[in-house]
Amino acid sequence: MAQRLFYGWIIVGTGIVVTCIGVGAMLALSIFLQPISEATGWSRTGVSTAALLNWLAMGVGSFVWGALSDRFGTRTVVLCGGGLLGLGLVTASQATTLGQFQLLFGVLVGLASGSFFTPLTATTTRWFTRNRSLAVALVSAGLGLGSTIVGPLARWLITSYDWRTAMFVIGDLAWLVIIPAALLVREPAAPPPGAARAAAGTDAAELTVAQALRTPQFAALAFTYFACCAAHSGPIFHMVTHALDHGVTAMAATTVLSVAGLASLVGKVMCGLIADRIGAKRMLLTGLALQALAVSLYVFTDSLARFYALAVLFGFAYGGVMPLYAILVREYFGARIMGTTFGAVAFVSTLGMAIGPWAGGWLYDTLGSYFWLYMGSSGIGLGAVAIALTFRPPRPHPAAMPSPSLAT
């Protein structure tokens, strides 16, 4: 008799699809940056401010949606987020002023995007005992696929029609894909009575959310995640416009972002596999150091071939580190409050994501180049390495699933 597919892998597949479209739609603003600026006369700083608001709203949303997923379930949260995302994109496509665009795309789309990665990651960790790092890495890979798939789609729609039509269509796509996919999400079955009693005894000794947020481990994780995201958010957001400024054609510049997205996907999977063997902390330190190096190399990059080569290195580095924070949160604080604690860590990280796009736009408008964006981002990346070195060994936690033999 054929063995039934472990449903945890269905959760992983759903997470990939939802994060691909859900977060990819928000990240596609980098593709819209120049077309919107040229069509409306809005400055790069003004349009980039929408990205800043994206990440601030996503940060608040990650914490709130994560807590709601612990209470009401991830399916409900993803359904609500999918509806809100489509609404934000469709209405932003009709904005007539910069303020309207910043509110609709910046706040609504950002808030909606926070409902996907954090709750789905928390749910994934509850489904797996073995291969947990790989499973989380695959869900996180949806973020890389978002840049690879939604970015070129946005570019093609903009070229064929205009930016407003492109954003409207992507909003409709979000409704058509995310809402049905959310119906596949469910929590793992409750453990058998014996395992439930054992888990209950252990849960009593676990930290509450308030206690977890006051620990040195939480502070170290949150500040590392913040510095990591502050280091790569600006270079990612301005990657296409930086290539355009060096004479690369619009579609070729978009494919540079796609290459980085594909490399980040490979980085997530490979680093997840390695982390299952050498530990998440060691892998994180290696990835953070590689990221800081890659960002600094952008000041020497001025041709399409070099942009492609650096996109591979940079994408692998920033992609590889992203799933590891969820693994460390799970190791430090356990499964019971995973949604809330990871949401809190993600909230701090999105402050870093918010700074980079805005700072890059401001530095370009003020100084006429991205040189200091890359220098500053590389320095912040080295700071992330320094903070990560302070991590203490996590407390051991029991497996979240009732029987390791059932989880692959």
| pLDDT, tens digit (0-9, with 9 covering 90-100), for 189-243 | 765 544 444 443 344 346 777 888 888 889 999 999 999 999 999 998 888 888 9
Let me know: does 38 contact 163? Beta carbons within 8 Å: no
Residue 335 carries which DSSP code?
S
- Going from the C-alpha of 298 to that of each of 45, 53, 161, 251, 311, the distances in angstroms are 21, 26, 32, 20, 10
What the block records as the tokens of 173 is 């796509």
> DSSP assignment of 174-195, as one string?
HHHHHHHHHTT--PPPPPPHHH
Select the highest-mean-pLDDT range: 165-179, 191-205, 271-285: 165-179
Task: Please give the Cα distance from 220 to 131 (Å, whole number).
Answer: 25
> 374 vs 71, which has greater pLDDT?
374
Let me know: does 124 contact 9? Beta carbons within 8 Å: no
Q: What is the set of domains in the chain, with CATH numbers?
A: 8-186+209-398 (1.20.1250.20)
Percent of residues, the chain, with pLDDT higher than 70 = 91
> 5 vs 41, which has greater pLDDT?
41
Q: Give the per-residue pLDDT at 284.
A: 93
> DSSP assignment of 27-56, as one string?
HTHHHHHHHHHHHH---HHHHHHHHHHHHH
Q: Give the per-residue pLDDT at 356.
A: 84
Q: Is 96 exposed, middle or buried (0-12, 13-18, 19+ CB in 10 A)?
A: exposed
- Going from the C-alpha of 339 to that of each of 77, 218, 343, 375, the distances in angstroms are 12, 14, 6, 35
What sections of 115-192 are H helices per DSSP? Answer: 117-127, 132-160, 163-182
Task: Please give the Cα distance from 21 to 375 (Å, whole number).
Answer: 31
Q: What is the residue-averaged pLDDT of the chain?
A: 84
Task: Please give the Cα distance from 297 to 317 (Å, whole number).
Answer: 13
The CA-based diameter of the chain, rounded to the nearest angstrom, is 68
| Confidence check: pLDDT of 317 > 60 | yes
Supply the pTM of this predicted model.
0.70
| Confidence check: pLDDT of 178 > 50 | yes
Percent of residues, the chain, with pLDDT higher than 90 = 37
Mean pLDDT computed over 381-385: 95
Task: Please give the Cα distance from 364 to 369 (Å, whole number).
Answer: 5
